[in-house]
Amino acid sequence: MGRYIIKRLLLAVPTLLGVVVGAFLIIHFVPGDPVKVMLFGANPSPRQIEDLRHQLGLDLPLERQFVRYLGGLVRGDMGESIQSHRKVADEIASYFMPTLILTFAGMGIAIVFGFAIGVLAALRPNSWLDGVAMTVVNLAVAMPAFWLGILLILVFALKLGWFPVTGQGGGIRLVLPALSLGIGYSAIIARLVRSNLVSVLEREYILTARSKGLGETTIVLRHALKNALIPVITMIGLQFGNMMGASVVIETLFARTGLGRLLVTSILQRDYPLIQGTILVFGAIYILSNLVIDVLYSLVDPRIRVA
Amino acid sequence: MVDAAEKSWPRGWENVKDAVLQFGRNPAAVISFFVFIVMIVLAIFGPLISPHDPVKVGTGPRLSPPGGDFLFGTDQFGRDVFSRVLYGARLTLQASVIAVVVAAGIGIPLGLLAGYAGKTVDSIISRLIDILLSFPGILLALVVVAILGTGLAKVQLAVGVSLIPSYARLVRGGVLSAKENLYVEAARAGGCSSVRIATRHILPNLFVPLLVLSTTAIGWAIIIATSINFIGLGVQPPTPEWGADLGSARSYLGVAWWPGTFPGLAILITILSVNLIGDGLQNALDPRMRSSGVSES
């Protein structure tokens, strides 16, 4: 068990390195002169341009720049934002938690709704309930999250006045954003739960359990669900990353501060140190969440550990 | 069992006929197919059908509700929402097609390269693909926008780039599994070059999975593109685009629900129909074509 975790951690290292290299290279792929691009609109003098170039280390050879970048990362220094002159690491740290909270809240909603609908549909396959559920699911999957958010705002915030339209923080201000984020993914989870549960319920060991006289609830909860759970866990892990990506749009819609909005503003302002830092942090989170999912998966399915 | 209908199809096309019939038995897929055709027609003939100029400020009173001259109402600049939705259709479809073409154009050769190349090249390329696939598409697209800047063409390119890994992985898998197949060995023994094997045997077999992937990819492309436009990193005003229009409708939701509803409805209908067509294609084609194989003798 420990061996698998070690092996998995080691595998994550080159991936992380790849993301670091990728983030580093972003500024170098910019067509033209990135320094001029960053200072565009401020009408910089040639002196200011060269100053910034030197400050960012862009006048050094590429390898030395990368070493410098790595060195900074190790010390937790990701440079300074061109616009705000605050340290990139500080900016990211202050916006990190709200995004994480939003993503977890969305994930929670996705899991709860997804499982509820998926299990209900699987228990009565091909019934009218199943049909209605799957139609709703298909609609939810095809709906862009930001439009769902707008609809939720129109109905629940503006018309009914139950929730505030925008705002950060937790509690009631989190509800609409989390719903907008989570409902689309709950549909994906529901579909998977339903199909897996249906096929598991048809298997022989369920027949055995039934013939033993076990009650239906016990069967579903104890035996069927556990086996149907495995691919769903993987799916949830994969979707966590997607959800963080989608939070970029949701944060913009609800005017919430967070990493997503930070990324959008930094792209608009061509603030490359900030862009690089944010992309790097997003990337690290994805790699970490994939790692966690793989480990969880190995816990649930003992066969994986032997491989 | 030979009936009159079978006799009329040329040799080798029986599989296609079966697939079409199977697709036809799926009502959701058929309806979606026609809806999609209608969308394409609207997109192409939009300028002719459109009742008003989508960008002319003050076409009508500002923020007037649906009705009368303006089927979907007007927006904050007095522009006709219906006309904007119509013009937006052409942008959206254009963007998704370009994205898929870019993704396939680069992803397919990349996958072929990875599948055919030696161990080291393959492992580097597939590692890269896996890393990219672990990122959500919208983030990959945002990185491209961060590098190249905002604007319609760049968004289309960005969305295309974000879809490349999916195509590359599919093709690479196809090459690897085909390499183990007897008919490839036989073709090699017969003196076929790798290129010939690729084009005459491997790619035709990948046609169905690639087709199904493409329908899903169109849906992804639409979501990513409209999202980027929604947050303002894509098209610039006054270009009519579904995502962008939803973005500008945000500030007026308190007084007008229609600018924030109809473009979104258009997105929903388009993606839904593409998804259902993809599902229908998969049901109709997958169990049939995969086993029968399409390579010519």
- The DSSP annotation for chain B comes to ---HHHHTSPTT-HHHHHHHHHHHT-HHHHHHHHHHHHHHHHHHHHHHH-SS-TT-TTSS-TTPPSBTTBTT-B-TTS-BHHHHHHHHHHHHHHHHHHHHHHHHHHHHHHHHHHHHS-HHHHHHHHHHHHHHHTS-HHHHHHHHHHHH-SSHHHHHHHHHHHHHHHHHHHHHHHHHHHHTSHHHHHHHHTT--HHHHIIIIIHHHHHHHHHHHHHHHHHHHHHHHHHHHHTTSSSPTT---HHHHHHHHGGGTTT-SSTTTHHHHHHHHHHHHHHHHHHHHHHHHHHHHHHH-----
Q: What is the pLDDT of residue B297?
A: 32
* Partner residue opposite B138 with nearest CB, options A165, A248, A290: A248
CB contact under 8 A, A19 and B131: yes
Mean pLDDT of B55-59: 84
Return the percentage of chain B with pLDDT > 70, whole number. Answer: 87
Q: What is the pLDDT of residue B119?
A: 79
Q: Does B137 touch chain A (CB under 8 A)?
A: yes
| Separation of CA A264 from chain center | 16
How many Cβ atoms are within 10 Å of A232's Cβ, its own excluded? 20
Q: What is the pLDDT of residue A307?
A: 45
Q: Poorest-confidence range of A163-167, B41-45, B272-276?
A: A163-167
SS3 at position A87: strand
User: B249 pLDDT band (50/70/90 cuts)?
Assistant: very high
Mean pLDDT of B38-61: 87
Interface confidence, given as ipTM, is 0.86
- Calpha distance A196→A217 (Å, rounded): 17
Q: Does A183 touch chain B (CB under 8 A)?
A: no
Most confident of A201-210, B195-204, B219-228: B219-228
Q: Does A139 touch chain B (CB under 8 A)?
A: yes
Mean pLDDT of B83-106: 92
Q: How far is A2 from chain B (nearest CA, A)?
A: 24
* Partner residue opposite A153 with nearest CB, options B131, B223, B253: B253
Using a CB-CB cut-off of 8 Å, the residues of chain A touching B145 are 267
Tokens at B188, concatenated: 């090699």
User: B192 pLDDT band (50/70/90 cuts)?
Assistant: low
Best of B144, B147, B268, B271 to substitute, by most chain A Cβ atoms within 10 angstroms, is B147
CB contact under 8 A, B264 and A244: no
Kindly identify which residue of chain B lies nearest to residue A267, measuring between CA atoms: B146
Using a CB-CB cut-off of 8 Å, the residues of chain A touching B131 are 15, 18-19, 22
Q: What is the pLDDT of residue B183?
A: 65
Query: Can you say whether residue A63 is alpha, beta or left, with left for phi > 0 and alpha for psi between -120 and 50 degrees?
Result: alpha
Return the percentage of chain B with pLDDT > 90, whole number. Answer: 34
Restricting to B residues 210-269, those with a Cβ less than 8 Å away from any Cβ of A are: 219, 223, 226-227, 230-233, 243, 246, 249-250, 253-254, 257, 260-261, 264, 267-268
- Comparing B164 with B176, the larger pLDDT belongs to B164
Using a CB-CB cut-off of 8 Å, the residues of chain A touching B139 are 245, 248, 279, 282
Query: Can you say whether residue B50 is alpha, beta or left, with left for phi > 0 and alpha for psi between -120 and 50 degrees?
Result: beta
Residue A157 in contact with residue B253, Cβ under 8 Å? no
User: B16 pLDDT band (50/70/90 cuts)?
Assistant: confident
Kindly identify which residue of chain A lies nearest to residue B233, measuring between CA atoms: A268
How many Cβ atoms are within 10 Å of A226's Cβ, its own excluded? 11
Best of A150, A165, A252, A275 to substitute, by most chain B Cβ atoms within 10 angstroms, is A150
Q: What is the pLDDT of residue A222?
A: 66
Per residue of chain A (307 residues), what is the pLDDT tens digit?
Answer: 677 778 878 878 888 888 888 888 888 888 888 888 888 777 888 888 888 888 888 888 888 888 888 888 888 888 888 888 888 888 888 898 899 999 999 999 999 999 999 888 888 888 888 889 999 999 999 999 999 999 999 999 888 888 888 877 777 888 999 999 999 999 999 998 888 888 877 776 666 666 776 666 666 666 667 777 777 887 888 888 889 889 999 999 999 989 988 999 999 888 888 999 999 998 888 888 888 887 877 776 666 554 4
Q: How far is B148 from chain A (nearest CA, A)?
A: 6
Q: Scan for tokens 């005459």, then name that residue.
A: B200
Q: What is the pLDDT of residue A1?
A: 62
Q: Is the pLDDT reported for residue B293 higher than 50?
A: no
What is the SS3 assignment for A217-229? HHHHHHHHHHHHH
Q: What is the pLDDT of residue B291?
A: 36
Q: What is the pLDDT of residue B113?
A: 85
CB contact under 8 A, A267 and B146: yes
Most confident of A95-109, A209-223, B126-140, B175-189: A95-109
Using a CB-CB cut-off of 8 Å, the residues of chain B touching A158 are 253-254
